[in-house]
Amino acid sequence: MNKTGFTINLLQKINSNSFFKSENLSSNNWLKPRLAVQSVFFIAVLLIGYRFIKFVETVRAGDVSGSIPKPPGVEGFLPISSLMELWLFIKSGILINIHPAGVVIIGFAIISAVLLRRGFCSWFCPVGTLSEMIFRLGVKLNMTWNPNKWFDIPFRIVKYFLLAFFLYAILGMPTAALIEFLRGDYNVVSDIKMMDFFAPPSRFTISVLLLLAFLTMIIKHFWCRYLCPYGALLGIFSLISPMKIRRDSETCIDCGICDEACPSYLPVATKHQIKSAECLACHQCTAVCPVSDCLTLSSKKPSFSLGTVKYGIIFLLLYMLAINGAKIADYWRSEVDIKRIAELSNKTGELTHPRNIGDY
């Protein structure tokens, strides 16, 4: 059978088989390696959250014995503070050990974006995993919508404006101001203040979360796609990555399944390679392609491709290298005295974020 005949035959099977419908392409059953990694990290985040709540309860009760240590991983939810600490080190060589785990995590995310594109967002990030779960509910309720470019492009820019705002505030701060803020009371217990924002949540918090959940049921990765400045930062760094989704136009049968599968709505089926910062390296397009090696996440010269299993293993190895390297270098646990944390933990409501540099 020639290429044309094969294509027609395949398209007939696709049209007659609901397995290939777009609502089913959203399922991670296609990508068991990624689902396994997502599940492990999502469960780990839940355990970190539980341990952190118990840690806060003990220090607020006056227990400073360290019987329940603070889980360092919670600092991964402090990207702005971590970025400030990282920028201080880049700018002046000063390494402040306030939220070191957060610095390691954001540093790993940036380096991995340069090497492997935005796999952090689609493989590790618990917000991304939760977003996919919520979207599946939207699929079952038949609520999903693929936004057209007139809606998608303007709203996609929002996260870059948010990133620009944060970078403008951080990069413009003098070294002395950065140090004073990072060592200040507000930043020391910023993770506890974050917990207090969600537990118990206010009516405003509940309203915002419900709105985001509703929008995520309709549009896949709504938060990640339109509002996450963290993802915008990684997207910018991913532009210089040698790894890209590449399409072999000689073997491509133009079935268009990859376009249906892409959660970022990228035109995979008509491009030789995907350069977009929106590519999440999720491998969804490569997993559904019916032609072997037609779509690959690969470098150009020298040619080097990564399937889902290889990609997941390399990502995990890089993560473990970063974490264990930080532990060996004694830059994983905060140097802040637990007595200071206990003292500040009971008056987090009195601590407000400085409004300008002069407040430092």
What is the secondary structure of 281-321 as a DSSP string?
A: ---HHHHH-SSTTTEEEEETTTTEE--HHHHHHHHHHHHHH
Mean pLDDT, rounded, of the chain: 88
Span 87-120, pLDDT tens digits: 999 999 999 999 999 999 999 999 999 999 999 9
pLDDT above 80: residue 239: yes
Q: Strand locations in 51-182, DSSP E?
A: none
Mean pLDDT of 124-145: 94
Contact between 203 and 209 under an 8 Å Cβ cutoff? The reply is: no
Higher pLDDT, 4 or 135: 135
Contacts of 11 (CB under 8 A, 6+ apart): 255
What does the pLDDT read at residue 23? Answer: 40
Confidence of residue 28 (pLDDT cuts 50, 70, 90): very low
pLDDT above 80: residue 159: yes
Mean pLDDT of 55-61: 94
Residue 7 in 3-state DSSP?
A: helix
Instruction: Look at the pTM and tell me if it is higher than 0.85.
Output: yes
Span 187-223, pLDDT tens digits: 999 999 999 988 888 899 999 999 999 999 999 899 9
Computed on alpha carbons and rounded to an integer, the radius of gyration of the chain in Å comes to: 22
What does the pLDDT read at residue 31? Answer: 63
Q: How many CA atoms lie within 13 A of 94 on its CB side?
A: 16
C-alpha 185/C-alpha 113 separation (Å) is 32
What does the pLDDT read at residue 24? Answer: 42
Mean pLDDT of 149-163: 92
What does the pLDDT read at residue 235? Answer: 96
pLDDT above 80: residue 18: no
What does the pLDDT read at residue 224? Answer: 93
What does the pLDDT read at residue 9? Answer: 52
Q: What are phi and psi of 296, to 5 degrees?
A: -140, 150
Mean pLDDT of 130-151: 91
Q: What burial letters (b/e) apply to 337-353, b meaning 16+ CB within 10 Å?
A: ebeebbebbeebeebee
pLDDT above 60: residue 12: no
Token readout for 89 is: 């080190």
Which of 213, 234, 319 has the alpha carbon at shortest distance from 279? 234
Confidence of residue 356 (pLDDT cuts 50, 70, 90): low
Residue 180 in 3-state DSSP?
A: helix
Mean pLDDT of 148-169: 92
Say if residue 69 is preceded by a cis peptide, omega within 30 of 0. Answer: no
What does the pLDDT read at residue 21? Answer: 41
What does the pLDDT read at residue 202? Answer: 87
Mean pLDDT of 12-17: 44
Residue 170 in 3-state DSSP?
A: helix
pLDDT above 90: residue 178: yes
Q: In the chain, where are the structural domains located?
A: 20-236+309-355
Q: How many CA atoms lie within 13 A of 64 on its CB side?
A: 11
Contacts of 292 (CB under 8 A, 6+ apart): none
> Residues of the chain with pLDDT > 90: what percent?
74
Q: Is 19 exposed, middle or buried (0-12, 13-18, 19+ CB in 10 A)?
A: exposed
Mean pLDDT of 66-86: 92
Secondary structure of the chain: what % helix, strand, coil (to 5)?
Answer: 65, 5, 30
What does the pLDDT read at residue 22? Answer: 41
Span 258-309, pLDDT tens digits: 998 898 989 999 999 999 999 999 999 999 999 989 999 999 877 889 999 9
